């Protein structure tokens, strides 16, 4: 399928203290790995306006993040929680990530179909309506979902979260809006400690698939088929959004699952097939986690190559 790669070069402006796992080398690793993949076209993200963020976040949250960045100044850092730190340019990066996701939605709706992969940091899926957390400032995928629902008038959207961590912030959106299906495969127990099977949202629009430490790719694929696919088929969303974290990879230092590069190609193939089955072949994936740079680059490239082949 036509595959647009949306690049957010402002990702490099989001600097973090030395030793932080969510460093700018992650962006560079993916950018280099995605160069020259056949069948892809590149576009560049612009910044999301505050009103787009405020379709998911509270205005107080947006103000708090923007103010902290302004106060960090040229050389400083400000911690919003023990893991989540900003510098003076972090707002520019986070606004560009959200803008890129919105542009991804606009692209697949304008073209009538297609796949988008957004290369941006910081990640977003832990950010709650009124709380930055887990390296995340603004919830990129939730903002994109609200843009699809409110600006394009889609009747429903799905967020499929394949990051090794549970997307607690994105789940908040489904818990308040029955037009959203949130389905997540994640390691449990693990940060942030949410994502239990008993969390089912509004009449079942939250589907959590917690997986034990050590789960390999075969078991991960089986869980996807058994639990995520039926939820998508039942919901028939008009657009599939993917929180594409690559930290379920066996080489990742923060996760304990055992996926390999080929599992991400498989996931992209399955998601593209499901999108063509009922979501008008509209599939927008946004980068979340992935903290071993070589594995991250290879996995993201495998994912994008599979999209372009689909």
So which residues are the catalytic ones?
Answer: 126
CB of 112 to Zn ion, least distance (A): 32
- The SS3 of residue 248 is coil
The footprint of Zn ion on residues 143-172 (CB under 5 A) is: 163, 165
Q: Please choose, out of 90-98, 194-202, 226-234, 246-254, the segment that lies near Zn ion by the rule CB under 5 A.
A: 246-254
Neighbour order of strands in the sheet with 240-244: 40-44, 3-7, 114-119, 282-287, 240-244, 157-161, 180-187, 206-211
Query: Judged by CB, which is closer to Zn ion: 135, or 238?
Result: 135
Query: Judged by CB, which is closer to Zn ion: 169, or 289?
Result: 289
Total Cβ atoms within 10 A of residue 28 = 14
The footprint of Zn ion on residues 162-221 (CB under 5 A) is: 163, 165
Total Cβ atoms within 10 A of residue 73 = 11
Q: Is 191 exposed, middle or buried (0-12, 13-18, 19+ CB in 10 A)?
A: middle
Query: Judged by CB, which is closer to Zn ion: 39, or 256?
Result: 256
Query: Judged by CB, which is closer to Zn ion: 22, or 199?
Result: 22
- Interface size with Zn ion, residues (CB under 5 A): 5
Strand intervals (E) in the chain? 3-7, 40-44, 78-79, 85-86, 114-119, 157-161, 180-187, 206-211, 240-244, 282-287
Query: Judged by CB, which is closer to Zn ion: 26, or 165?
Result: 165
CB of 165 to Zn ion, least distance (A): 4
Contacts of 14 (CB under 8 A, 6+ apart): 24, 86, 87, 89, 90, 92, 93, 94, 121, 122
Q: Please choose, out of 98-106, 180-188, 196-204, 282-290, the segment that lies near Zn ion by the rule CB under 5 A.
A: 282-290
Q: Is 274 exposed, middle or buried (0-12, 13-18, 19+ CB in 10 A)?
A: buried
Alpha carbons 239 and 46: distance in angstroms, whole number: 22
Establish if 245 lies at the interface with Zn ion (CB under 5 A). yes
Q: Please choose, out of 4-12, 24-32, 114-122, 289-297, the segment that lies near Zn ion by the rule CB under 5 A.
A: 289-297
Distance of CA 69 to the CA centre of its chain: 22
Q: Which of 289, 300, 302, 303 binds Zn ion (CB under 5 A)?
A: 289
Question: Under a CB-based contact definition with an 8 Å cutoff, are residues 210 and 191 in contact?
Answer: no
Q: Please choose, out of 90-98, 104-112, 173-181, 243-251, the segment that lies near Zn ion by the rule CB under 5 A.
A: 243-251
- Both tokens of residue 32? 């280099």
Q: Which of 22, 247, 251, 292 binds Zn ion (CB under 5 A)?
A: 247
CB of 309 to Zn ion, least distance (A): 26
CB of 164 to Zn ion, least distance (A): 5
CB of 206 to Zn ion, least distance (A): 18
Residue nearest to Zn ion (CB): 289
3-state helix, strand, coil in the chain (%, to 5): 40, 20, 40
Q: Please choose, out of 19-27, 88-96, 188-196, 242-250, the segment that lies near Zn ion by the rule CB under 5 A.
A: 242-250
Query: Judged by CB, which is closer to Zn ion: 83, or 163?
Result: 163
CB of 134 to Zn ion, least distance (A): 8
Provide the binding-site residues for Zn ion, judged by CB under 5 A: 163, 165, 245, 247, 289
């Amino acid at each position: 399928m036509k595959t647009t790669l949306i690049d957010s070069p402002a990702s490099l402006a989001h600097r973090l203290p030395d030793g932080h796992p969510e460093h700018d080398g992650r962006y560079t690793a993916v950018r280099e790995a995605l160069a020259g993949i056949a069948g892809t076209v590149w576009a560049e993200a612009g910044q999301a306006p505050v009103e787009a963020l405020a379709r998911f976040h509270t205005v107080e949250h947006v103000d708090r993040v923007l103010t902290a960045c302004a106060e960090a100044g040229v050389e400083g850092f400000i911690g919003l929680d023990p893991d989540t730190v900003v510098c003076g340019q972090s707002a520019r990066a986070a606004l560009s990530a959200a803008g890129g996701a919105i542009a991804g939605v606009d692209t697949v709706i304008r073209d009538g179909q297609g796949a988008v992969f957004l290369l941006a940091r910081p990640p977003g899926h832990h950010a709650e309506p009124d709380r930055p957390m887990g390296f995340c400032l603004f919830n990129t995928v939730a903002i994109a979902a609200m843009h699809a629902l409110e600006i394009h008038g889609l009747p429903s959207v799905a967020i499929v979260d394949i990051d090794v961590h549970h997307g607690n912030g994105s789940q908040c959106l489904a818990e308040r809006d029955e037009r959203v299906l949130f389905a997540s495969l994640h390691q449990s127990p693990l940060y942030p400690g949410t994502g239990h099977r008993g969390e089912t949202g509004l009449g079942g629009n939250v589907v959590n698939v917690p997986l034990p430490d050590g789960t390999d790719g075969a078991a991960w694929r089986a869980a996807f088929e058994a639990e995520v696919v039926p939820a998508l088929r039942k919901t028939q969303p008009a657009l599939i959004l993917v929180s594409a974290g690559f930290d379920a990879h066996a080489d990742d230092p923060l996760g304990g699952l055992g996926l390999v590069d080929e599992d991400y190609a498989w996931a992209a193939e399955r998601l593209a097939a499901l999108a063509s089955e009922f979501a008008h072949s509209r599939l927008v994936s946004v980068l979340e986690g992935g903290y071993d740079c070589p594995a991250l680059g290879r996995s993201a490239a495998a994912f994008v190559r599979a999209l372009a082949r689909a």
